[in-house]
Amino acid sequence: MAKFDRTIGTLRFTEATDLSIPTLSILDSEGKLRKDAQAPAIDKETALKIYRDMTYIRVLDERMLAAQRQGRLSFYLTCTGEEAAVVGSIAGFADRDMVMAQYREQAALRYRGFTSEQFMNQMLSNDLDLGKGRQMPVHYGSRELNYMTISSTLATQIPQAAGYAYGQKLSGNDACTVCYFGDGAASEGDFHAGLNMAAVLNCPVVFVVRNNGYAISTPISEQFAGDGIAPRGVGYGIKTIRVDGNDILAVYAASVAARKLAIDGSAPVMIETMSYRLGAHSTSDDPTSYRNAEEEQLWAEKDPISRMRKWLLGKGWWSDQQEHQLKDNYKKEILDALKSQEKRPTPSLNDLISDVYQTPPQHLQQQYAELQQHIDKYPDHYLANPAKANGTYLSASVQLP
């Protein structure tokens, strides 16, 4: 706690430059260890799992973008460019840790074991969707994998994550919460509420801020005036680190250390991953109107996946042949899953009213009965494969979410 006991007789304002937070960087752009860097302990198995999942998500994102263009799903949103920030961080946590993410962290869900079929079921709102067809594509959730269902409303998960972590601490189950959000979401009031509460109530939660330069069209220069998000963590009394988000080893090292600090110290930790959203915000967006190709090119050259590949190749843990095979397998796996899962039926009509409450109250049951009667009068008009309808319904310039 603050003591406020240092006094000074001369008037001087403290400025952002008085707190310079450096960026942790371990792998250079060629995938070599920096000379002054301490590489984290990472075994081959973990490294390859990380690499495979990053690659998987890159392939999934490309396939689903194409599928969206074909009208096979209504909406999609890629993680492209930020794979190391997401996979590198989640790899530092245990499976029992709860993940509360924003929406661009499908790579973390994959790392936990989400299957291609499960991704498809959600995006296609079919009868096997764990979310019962209620949310737009990419709003995943899995109780089994400790991955909280995504909400479109930005930043709401931040104070929730603090509370979840507090509950974990009380339960004494040696687990923490990892909470992801973007540079834009960090402007919401809920960010402030969540970080301050986490700090003063000693909640074991690790906040991973994905600073990717943009919030839809808004560059970070119009989102904040300070030195990124990291100094805010310091202001709340939270141990904070900034990392090169395209450097898998830096992200991983910071995450492993952060988890330990959070659990051993019963305290929040913040990691700011500096990266770039290489793709559009979503399939409803076209970034050419608000940023230039050079900037994109600059960042494309820093691609986190190829940087990690170079490192793996250097260590002799990976080969070009394995690379080709892996990608081909993923392409096939994903396409097969898309084809099979899009044939599945929609959830049952009753899922329109179930789960509003644990048990549907009388008025809702009555509304449902009336609906059924009505549908019986116009059987052709309703229940007509709505999953298909989704594909064409959205206007191309509607930004969702």
Ligand X SMILES: Cc1ncc(C[n+]2csc(CCOP(=O)(O)OP(=O)(O)O)c2C)c(N)n1
Question: Is residue 9 a contact point for its own copies (CB under 8 A)?
Answer: yes
The candidate with the shortest Cα–Cα distance to 55, out of 369, 312, 293, 362, is 312
**Member of 12, 15, 321, 357 binding other proteins (CB under 8 A):** 357
Answer with the entry of ligand X, its own copies, other proteins, none that 132 interacts with (C-beta below 5 to 8 A by kind): other proteins
Q: Give, as ranges, the residues between 235 and 294 that touch its own copies (CB under 8 A).
A: 235-242, 244, 253-254, 257-258, 261, 269, 274
Q: Give, as ranges, the residues between 24 and 83 that touch ligand X (CB under 6 A).
A: none
| 3-class SS letters over 51-107 | HHHHHHHHHHHHHHHHHHHCCCCCCCCCCCCCHHHHHHHHCCCCCCCEEECCCCCHH
Question: Is residue 85 a contact point for ligand X (CB under 6 A)?
Answer: no
User: Could you tell me which stretch among 135-143, 182-190, 200-208, 261-269 binds ligand X (CB under 6 A)?
Assistant: 182-190
Angle in degrees, CA 212, 214, 218, rounded to 5: 165
281 is catalytic: yes
Q: Give, as ranges, the residues between 350 and 379 that touch its own copies (CB under 8 A).
A: none
How many residues sit close enough to other proteins to count as binding (CB under 8 A)? 101
Angstrom CA distances, 120 to 104, 108, 153, 205, 396, stand at 16, 16, 23, 30, 21
Question: Is residue 297 a contact point for other proteins (CB under 8 A)?
Answer: no
**Member of 59, 77, 123, 162 binding other proteins (CB under 8 A):** 162
Local structure of residue 227 (DSSP, 8 states): S
Q: Give, as ranges, the residues between 145 and 184 that touch Mg ion (CB under 5 A).
A: 182-184
User: Could you tell me which stretch among 53-61, 178-186, 194-202, 238-246 binds ligand X (CB under 6 A)?
Assistant: 178-186
69 is catalytic: no
210 is catalytic: no
Measure the CA–CA gap between 148 and 132, rounded to whole angstroms. Answer: 15
**DSSP assignment string, 133-199:** T-S-TT---BTTTTBPPP-SSTTTHHHHHHHHHHHHHHHT-S--EEEEEETTGGGSHHHHHHHHHHH
Q: Given the complex with Mg ion, which of 55 and 223 has the nearer CB atom? A: 223
Q: How far is the CB of 7 from ligand X (least distance, A)?
A: 22
- Which residue in the list 52, 210, 281, 307 is annotated as catalytic? 281
**Member of 21, 216, 313, 371 binding ligand X (CB under 6 A):** 216
**Residue 282 CA, distance from chain mean position:** 14
CB burial readout 274-306, b (16+ within 10 A) else e? bbbbbbbbbbbbebeeeeeeeebeebeebbbbe
Name the closest residue to ligand X (Cβ): 182
Question: Is residue 209 a contact point for its own copies (CB under 8 A)?
Answer: no
Q: Which residues bind ligand X (CB under 6 A)?
A: 104, 152-154, 182-185, 210, 212, 214-216, 277, 281, 401
**Residues labelled catalytic:** 277, 281, 290
Q: Which residues bind Mg ion (CB under 5 A)?
A: 182-184, 212, 215
